Amino acid sequence: MLKILEYSITHFCEHILRLRIEVAQDISGELYGASIPIMGKSEGECNFYLFFPKEFLKKIAEILINDENLKKMTGAI
């Protein structure tokens, strides 16, 4: 199950967004999160949470959102 989780995070960050994953010593301040549900045969559904700072959310918006007005609303630009 952890290999699936690791691949999901790597795929989204490095393959889709083309951003390198870096280790953080601590996590504080204003945070945003994403839920990653994984279904196991014997475990049922397990939910994992990925937390990231606002700056990373802006990077995601810059990459995925092509509409300039929407970028302004989200603070991506």
At 74, is the pLDDT very low, low, confident or very high (cuts 50, 70, 90)? low
Report the share of the chain in percent with pLDDT over 70.
86
- Residue 55: burial class (beta carbons within 10 Å; 0-12, 13-18, 19+): exposed
Dump pLDDT digits (tens) for 29-66.
888 888 888 888 888 898 898 888 888 888 888 888 77
- The per-residue pLDDT for 70 is 64
User: How many other CB atoms are found less than 10 A from the CB of residue 22?
Assistant: 6
